[in-house]
A and B are shown apart, each in its own frame.
Chain A
Amino acid sequence: MTTVEEPRTTTFDDNDQKPIGFGRMLRKEDPRLLRGRGRFTDDVQLPGMLHLAILRSPFAHARIVSVDTSAAEAAPGVKAVVTGEALKGLGLAWMPTLSNDVQAVLATDKVRFQGQEVAFVVAENRYAARDALELIDVEYDVLDPVIDVRQALAPDAPLIRDDLEGKTNNHCFDWETGDAEATEAVFARADVVVKQDIVYPRVHPAPMETCGAVADFDAVEGKLKLWSTTQAPHAHRTLYAIVAGLPEHKIQVIAPDIGGGFGNKVPIYPGYVCAIVGSIVTGKPVKWMEDRSENLISTGFARDYIMRGEIAATHDGKILAIRTNVLADHGAFNGTAAPVKYPAGFFGVFTGSYDLEAAYCSMTAVYTNKAPGGVAYACSFRITEAVYLVERIVDCLAAELDMDPAELRLKNFIKPEQFPYETKTGWVYDSGNYEPTMRLAMDIAGYPALRREQAEKRSRGELMGIGIAFFTEAVGAGPRKDMDILGLGMADGCELRVHPTGKAVVRLSVKTQGQGHETTFAQIVAEEIGIPPADIEVVHGDTDQTPFGLGTYGSRSTPVSGAAAALVARKVRDKAQLIASAMLEVTVADLEWVKGSFQVKGDPGKAVTIQQIAMRAHGAGDLPDGVEGGLEAQICYNPSNLTYPHGAYICVVDIDPGTAQVKVRRFIAVDDCGTRINPMIIEGQVHGGLTDGVGMALMEMIAFDEDGNCLGASLMDYLIPTSLEVPDWETGYTVTPSPHHPIGAKGVGESATVGSPPAIVNAVVDALKPYGVRHADMPLTPSRVWDAMRGRATPPI
């Protein structure tokens, strides 16, 4: 089932020469982006358009005593000033979150995190709007905040969510998975048990383009047009209909070009609602574009899991069970973007790539005085945390057993013949052949030579570390019987129309934010129906123009929408076959599909191309009985399972013993995402995700002081890797197709972000072995590594 393909050596300088179907193809979206002709939200300019700016709370927790907007209203260029009290009158002061909690659009009673939205101004331009914010006078009665998540459930902890009826503490939810008793029994008889506290600190996806919107409410038509930075335009439309009471057919959400999403642009933010209200109130189009500080301080954070990991094994390294207890910080409102039945996302896959006898997780989530979020930053619904936990704890076991971490993993992998494999927490992995993937990564790295080099360096007092992570992802949410976002099943539509001249348009429910859907979806359709990708226009992002679906996140585009694109093309092809049979005067059974045309079996001279069929479908003359004119179809694809791509990552670091600076010298990433639609684009996805990993492992953190001041709210403090912090990436791949996917493809976009942090941390800990370090928490900045070297490693929070 698994093959290791040779890298393609052929490249094409011109897209017109592109063969139909899969393979390296230059991107259809590049020409406009290279010329500065992309159209991002802040590029939208409408007649009479006004600008909106938001006043934010300086405090983490405070009662609002009064808000005086009179000076702001009188300021030059100001058209409207709106407070929480005013929104309350419209029934819009609160909105539902993606986790069935509620979130304040503008604070009415009190503020619950620093940076929370308190009021907004609409003015003639962005400068005037900002000026007027300074003139709003808010009187606060400052309250004690809850910042340390470990203190959130203390009996005397301040109550954050007094808006929820009957709420007496900061408890958000409990969740568990697996079998506690069975796991306890295995732990009781295990030879070796290793326990380690592991923190995945709060970070932020920080797309280069921040969040924003342009709302244009036409009172005459009663129609709202909203350009916005949304990864899920259809789901947003439905939620606006529910929240604002506007009829859904009178709402058009347009997600134009998006400057990166990374999960940051899945939730509905107060700013979007404010822009809509601003447009309704002023009767003009209103633009809201947040700045970087607002993005970092108030929009969806990622991670913030405090985990206790335990692993049980035999003396010779057979892993028996894994158990974990998690404390999750969800901020002031539970805004986690996750399927409704999965409050902890897909954290249940924490058993990783290993064949275990038992597993169990218990989790408690709490409210704190911080911004909401949790699921973002290419996490595939908490799989970043799950993979980090298992790959870190397996390394702790390897250290305990004094066993090579590669050898320990190879010994415990789920075997290819065990797939589909049901884990002890109920996930059914579709396919996998882990050992060849691992061996390829070790070959590229030259693993034995690296270990020899490390031994030599160690003898000279130099610090070199080799870190391994082997992960199994779970992407493509998901089967609608189990998975929905606020009641909307996670299926995705696709529509394909072939024009009379044989050109085509395919309409997607998903929304690219740079992942190349305009190219790859044309390739999928081309592969199935034989029309060159250059002749296929991909339409996405506009809810008036595209079929309903749940959007792009969780690496779900290829698994769900990619499947829909393949199947809709097959549906059109089936119809084309009926027409071809009439054109060639043979039965359908006498025809065979040779990419791009139907031929009479045994007589290749008798054939019609898909283009000829398209013209006939629209042209004069009778069609076979029961065949309507035109050549088009639509489909809504409900996946039967997720896809489970996997990968083997090896990281080599050097640490300066004098400064504790970590340098990532090499990084080898071997990914297996099944059938590969466009290797060039996959490589780019992997490179980007690996860079996220370097950021999270070594640099990035959204921290707070004890008063709840956010210490990571600008790019001066929130450090993102530049070209100097990352190496030249080394990639490879194996191919284990997904058996249930129409083209055997799995998602891959988030794999590298999921898999790379443990590889880097494992490498740093490995380098620090001479200092007796078994674990150190991210971000491994020089000061934190220095502390670890001196036996003072402490959690970052």
Chain B
Amino acid sequence: MQVTMVVNDAEVTAEIEGRLLLVHFLRDTLGLTGTHWGCDTSNCGTCVVWLDGEPVKSCTVLAAMADGHEVRTVEGLADGAELDPIQQGFMQCHGLQCGFCTPGMMMTCRALLDRNPDPTDAEIREAISGQICRCTGYSTIVRSVRWASVHEAAANK
């Protein structure tokens, strides 16, 4: 079947099998390998991307379901050379180690700040609770989001 969608602001059309998962469509068909695949039961969240601005686990979405919709991946997070404040926050606060959960984690955190620019630590933890990180122990991820929140607030003043 043929699908057409907008991925990171660019329209793509492809011939795919109906059963193809969105995560494999992004990675194998489009070569957007920033989105990862860490489990087979929809628990780990390393595959989180946005579907029409909503974070979804792309291992649990068929590529066909994204037909006619808009997808954003980690590759579409930075504005050219300028990193998104979330990306800067993860760097400044050491919110990543192996980097495998990072793309999905940042997509969720960006979505959180878009809805709630000044979240509490508890709200940040709640927001990322669908995503597993094996390296950081989460504290520095919480700090990273707070860093982004504070710096965005300062920039918007």
Q: Do A and B come from one complex?
A: yes
- Residues of A contacting B94 with CB < 8 Å? 26-27, 680-681, 683-684
A38 within 8 A of B: yes
- Residues of A contacting B92 with CB < 8 Å? 11, 13, 26
Inter-chain contact B134/A206, CB cutoff 8 Å: yes
Inter-chain contact B98/A208, CB cutoff 8 Å: yes
Inter-chain contact A724/B125, CB cutoff 8 Å: yes
Number of B interface residues at 8 Å Cβ cutoff, please give it. Answer: 59
- Residues of B contacting A209 with CB < 8 Å? 36, 38, 98, 100
Mask of A250-285 contacts with B, CB within 8 angstroms, 1/0:
000000011110100000000000000000000000
Q: When chains A and B are docked, how far (Å) is the Cα of A722 from the Cα of B43?
A: 10
Mark the stretch among A191-199, A512-520, A528-536, A548-556 that contacts chain B: A512-520
Mask of B121-157 contacts with A, CB within 8 angstroms, 1/0:
1001110111111111111111000000000000000
List residues 125-141 of chain A with CB under 8 A from any CB of chain B.
125-127
Inter-chain contact B20/A127, CB cutoff 8 Å: yes
B24 within 8 A of A: yes
Whether A43 touches B33, Cβ cut-off 8 Å, given contacts A715-B44, A724-B125, is yes
Inter-chain contact A259/B98, CB cutoff 8 Å: yes
Inter-chain contact B99/A33, CB cutoff 8 Å: yes
- Residues of B contacting A687 with CB < 8 Å? 136-140
Inter-chain contact A36/B33, CB cutoff 8 Å: yes
Mask of A233-264 contacts with B, CB within 8 angstroms, 1/0:
00000000000000000000000011110100
A716 within 8 A of B: yes
- Residues of A contacting B136 with CB < 8 Å? 684, 687-688, 691
Q: When chains A and B are docked, how far (Å) is the Cα of A574 from the Cα of B99?
A: 38
A437 within 8 A of B: no
User: At the interface, is chain B mostly helix, strand, loop or mixed?
Assistant: loop
Inter-chain contact A34/B44, CB cutoff 8 Å: no
Q: Looking at the complex, which one of A126, A680, A716 makes contact with B41 (CB distance below 8 Å)?
A: A716
Inter-chain contact A516/B39, CB cutoff 8 Å: no
- Residues of A contacting B130 with CB < 8 Å? 722
A355 within 8 A of B: no
Number of A interface residues at 8 Å Cβ cutoff, please give it. Answer: 59
- Residues of A contacting B39 with CB < 8 Å? 291-292, 714-715
B58 within 8 A of A: no
- Residues of A contacting B137 with CB < 8 Å? 684, 686-691, 726, 729
Q: When chains A and B are docked, how far (Å) is the Cα of A687 from the Cα of B138?
A: 8
Inter-chain contact B100/A208, CB cutoff 8 Å: yes
List residues 1-40 of chain A with CB under 8 A from any CB of chain B.
11, 13, 26-27, 29-31, 33-40
Inter-chain contact A684/B135, CB cutoff 8 Å: yes
Inter-chain contact A688/B129, CB cutoff 8 Å: no
A210 within 8 A of B: yes
List residues 612-642 of chain A with CB under 8 A from any CB of chain B.
none
Q: When chains A and B are docked, how far (Å) is the Cα of A11 from the Cα of B94?
A: 12
Mask of B47-73 contacts with A, CB within 8 angstroms, 1/0:
000000000000000000000000001
List residues 24-71 of chain A with CB under 8 A from any CB of chain B.
26-27, 29-31, 33-40, 42-43, 45
B3 within 8 A of A: no
- Residues of B contacting A207 with CB < 8 Å? 98, 100, 134
A723 within 8 A of B: yes
6 pairs, CB–CB < 8 Å, chain A vs chain B: A31-B91, A34-B90, A35-B78, A42-B33, A209-B36, A723-B124
